[in-house]
Structure 1
Amino acid sequence: MNTEQQEYISLISRSTHDDILIKKTGWEAINFQEHAHKKFQIIYTLSGTLHVETGGVNYFVPEKHIAWIPEKASHKLSSNSRQVSLIIFYINLNITPDDGKNRFSIYSTNGIIAENLKFIASKGKVITRGKQTDLYNFALSFFNLLPQMTLGADFLLKTLVIPNDSRLHPILNYITEHIHEDLNMEQIASQYNLSVRNLSRLFNTSGIHFSSYVNHLRITRAIELLTDGDNTVQEVAYKVGFNTPNNFNRVFKQVTGKSPKTYIKGI
C-alpha cells in the first residue's frame, strides 16, 4: 500500500457520517493490504478486473461489476489486469445487523445502474448532506436499492476458499504461478516431496477439488486476459493452460454459463 492509499484510508476515518466519499482510480496498479473502515465500500470496475480477499475467501470481480463491501469488514484489494480503473464510493447506510446487505456481495450491472453510478461520481469527491441535500438523498436511496436492482453474479459467488492448513499455501501459490502449464497431481506431489495420496488428503480435508480449483483459476485468468483485449480467444486458451480452444470453450461455459465471445460481448 503506497502513501497516497494510506492517506486516503485515513481520510475515510476522519469523514463524518453524512459524507459520501468518491474516489476514481486512473489506469494504475491496485494493491491495498488488509484494512477496514467505518463506511460501506462500493466498487464499480469501470475497466479491468479486481480481486477482493475478505473473510478467508478470495473473490473475483470482472469488468463492469460491483463489489459490495460492508462497513468494518476487513479486506484486501488487488488486480492482475495490466491496467485497471475503478469508481469507489464510501457511504454510511442505516442497515440492521440481520440485513443481507451486511454481507459481501458481487453484483452485475445494467445500463441504468451504470449511468447512475457515473452520474453520482461526476459530482465531485465528496457529497455532504448539509450542502447537497437532494443529491445526497438521491445517492443514499440509490445505494440502498442497488442490491434489489441487480442479480448476483452467478459463478463469481463460487469462490476460492483460502485454507487454514498452511502446508497448502505454497502449493496453491505454485499452481497459480504455473497455471499456464500442464498441471497434474503427480507432478505437484513430486515438486513438494509428497505422495499423491498425501497431497489428495491435504486438498480433501481443506474442501478443495483439484481439477475444479485449477479450472477456476484458469478461467479467472482468461477473463483478465480477455478484458485486457490484447489476445484472441485462441491465444488466451493456450496462455492459461488448455491444450485446445475447444476444451477451453467447454470449461469456460461450464464455469461462467457463457462462451468466451458471448461473455466478453456482455461486459
Structure 2
Amino acid sequence: MSAPERIPPRSMTPADLLAEGELTVRGRLREASNAALYCTLAHEGQEITCIYKPVAGERPLWDFPDGTLAQRELAAYEVSEATGWQLVPPTVLRDGPYGEGMVQLWIEATADAELLALVDGEEPEPGWKAIGFAEVGEGQTALLVHADDERLRRLAVLDAVINNADRKGGHLLPAADGRLYGIDHGVSFHAENKLRTLLWGWAGEPLPEEAVAVLKGLKESLLPGGTLAERLAPLITPAETDATRARVEALLASGKHPEPSGEWPAIPWPPV
C-alpha cells in the first residue's frame, strides 16, 4: 500500500501571516512616542517582519480618546484600500504578547529616494513644491520643499480624507519596488479639523481627475450601509465616520486640495 500523498502547506499572503502567524517580539523602536515593537510573524515555514503597537502601550492624548490609536491605524488602512492606491501597508488588529494591538507589515525604506529637501532661494526648482521656510541655525532660514510626485499627491489626498494630524517626513516610506507607503496614522479621523502635514505643496490647486474619481467612490462607500462605512464602524465613532464623509464631500465641492485653516498648526513638529 502506497504512502498517502503529502499535501504541501498553503502559501500565505502577508495579510494571512499578519492575522495568523506566531508573533515574536525582536526589539523596540525607541524613538516612537508610543510602544512600537519590531517583530517577526511565522507560520508553517514562512516568516515576515512587522511592527506591533499594543493598545496597552499607548500614551494618553488630550484630544483623542484613550486606547483608540490602534483602531485608527486600521481605519486608515481600510480607507487606503478603498481608494485602490494601497498607500498604507497591510494592517490588522490582533492579540499579541502584550494584548490587542495594531500589527502592520514592516516596510524597508530605500535610502536613495529624495522626497524632502532644504534649498536656498524663495521658490522651488522644477519638480519640487514649497512647504515653507524653516530655521537652519544661526538665524538662517531655508526653503523646505517636497517632491512634485504623484505618489505624494495621493498621500496628500488620503491625509485630507482621514484628517491626519501628524504627517511627518519620517512617516514616508519609499520601497525598493517604487511604491510609496505612509505609516503612523494613530492620530487621524478626529471629527474636528486637525490636518497637519508636510504635504502642503498642492494647497489650493485643482485635484487631479484621478483623485476626483476616487473621492466619488469613497463618498458612496461612506454612506450608511456602504462597504467602507461598515468596515469603519467597529474602529471609529459614528460622528467620526460622518465627519470623514463630510470631508470627502467638501473636497469634491471645492475641487481643490485643502489649504491650512489657520486654526491649527499646519505643519507637525518636529517635521521629520
**Which structure has more RCO (C-alpha within 8 Å, separation ≥ 6)?**
1
Higher helix share: 1
TM-score, normalization: structure 1?
A: 0.23
TM-score, normalization: structure 2?
A: 0.23
